[in-house]
A and B are shown apart, each in its own frame.
Chain A
Amino acid sequence: MGLTPRPDVVSVEPRANEGWITTRLDFLVNWARANSLWPMPFGTACCAIEFMATAASQFDLARFGMERMSFSPRQSDVLICAGRVPFKLAPVIRRIWQQMPQPKWCISMGACASTGGMFDNYAVVQGIDTIIPVDVYVPGCPPRPEGLIYGIMLLQEKVKRERMKDETLRTEMEPDPGSQLYIPPSAINELSEPFGNSVHQTRSGL
């Protein structure tokens, strides 16, 4: 074998099966996208510690092409919301989401980001899906790195099944009543209802 000089003329011989592949464009693009998701970490609480552990050498997010933390939303693909989001941060996370270029995805990491968790009080958003669209929810308080990695692999599966022809995937959804992102107030109230027997804590006793 050894190195061969670069040929001056490239001739395509259909029967020589070296150097050429044919595939679907969807497959190729999705393969590239799914394996180089650049995360935008939005860490507000203890979930961010687990996220850092996931990114560090023991669990090594670089295996998934995610070693580049993007601390600018303009150069990122997936928003990972790790931790509770208070109402004061609600406009901030929505602005970050709007600044991210398409295509973009969102992982809601942990109980607080997904549902408000134990913070069912006056200050905490009851699930970031009332603000921005979420692709994958990772349960746990906080999730172990294996859990987050499983969520990332689920997201990769989702990315690999997208069709470029499907334009609705990439249309920017604005939070007005005409768009898909719009959640009517009744739905937000229903999503924010507490689970279990904690309904009575609304009453203050006075």
Chain B
Amino acid sequence: MTAPFTPYAPGSAQPPGSAEPATPKGVRHRGGDANPSAEALRDRFGPAVRRVDVVWGETTVVIDPARALDVVRWLHDEPSQRYELLADVTAVEFRDVEQPIEVVWHLRSLAFRRFLRLKAELPKGGPLEVPSVWPVHKGADWLERECFDMFGIRFAGHPDLRRILMWEQYREGYPLRKDFPLRGRFSRAEQLRQALAANPEARYSMEELSIADAFEDLPSDMRARLRSGEKTGE
């Protein structure tokens, strides 16, 4: 149960004194040239940039969680950066209980052909909250909802932060957290009872923009249901 956890690292199987691991094209495991945007971020944000790692040639900038929206907005708006594509928002929790949970943003600059990974570290005891980047990247909407659904990280400023993969009345917590049992917290019978109690026909809410557009075309009973604020028909 408490066996020491020894993660595999690149080169750990090599005999001591071997050369540093590298790809066939000579990209080193650690170190190497950082993305120039990392240096620009240091100049602009100073202490909010906590660490810059270069792993296998990819640059990771660890930032102050509270400044995440500012950093992403600056990277998006600054003409010398132009990170206009938000590829992913996700999170990582490590098995080591001391290690903080990381929220990860993958940004891509199409104009300069650059890839930048931003990370914000949230200590496990504290509130798991970071600013939402939805005001800059509208595509972050569902990505952040999924991250909230699976990890329980709250994105402050998100317009509609609710579960997206699990159903909205899911009561067992956040499935991808390390303290979540693989089979869930409840018995199978209880899980089934709660799932079957949901009304499959009442999945819409006015927050779904596509439904809001088609509101006048909906049948009258559904219009009445949506007007009454019903979300899930529990």
Report 7 cross-chain contacts, Cβ distance below 8 Å, ordered by A residue. A91-B197, A92-B200, A121-B182, A131-B192, A185-B193, A205-B1, A206-B178
* Residues in A144-197 with C-beta less than 8 Å from chain B: 175, 184-186, 188-189, 191-192
B181 close to A188 (CB less than 8 A): no
> Is residue B113 contacting chain A, with contact meaning CB distance below 8 A?
no
Query: What 4 pairs between A and B have smallest CB-CB spacing?
Result: A185-B189, A122-B184, A192-B188, A87-B195
B200 close to A185 (CB less than 8 A): no
Contact of A204 among B179, B197, B201 (CB under 8 A): B179
> Which residues of A are in contact with B by a Cβ distance under 8 Å?
87-88, 90-92, 94-95, 120-123, 125-126, 130-131, 175, 184-186, 188-189, 191-192, 201-206
Contact of A121 among B167, B178, B183, B200 (CB under 8 A): B183
Q: Distance in Å from the Cβ of A96 to the closest Cβ of chain B?
A: 9
A190 to B, closest residue via Cβ: B188
- Chain B residues near A191 (CB, 8 Å)? 188
- Chain B residues near A122 (CB, 8 Å)? 172, 175, 180-184, 191
**A88 CA / B167 CA spacing, docked (Å):** 6
Q: Distance in Å from the Cβ of B67 to the closest Cβ of chain A?
A: 31
- Chain B residues near A123 (CB, 8 Å)? 166, 175
Q: Do A188 and B179 contact each other (CB < 8 Å), given the known contacts A91-B200, A205-B95?
A: no
> Is residue B224 contacting chain A, with contact meaning CB distance below 8 A?
no
A130 close to B192 (CB less than 8 A): yes
- Chain B residues near A205 (CB, 8 Å)? 1, 95, 178
> Is residue B207 contacting chain A, with contact meaning CB distance below 8 A?
no
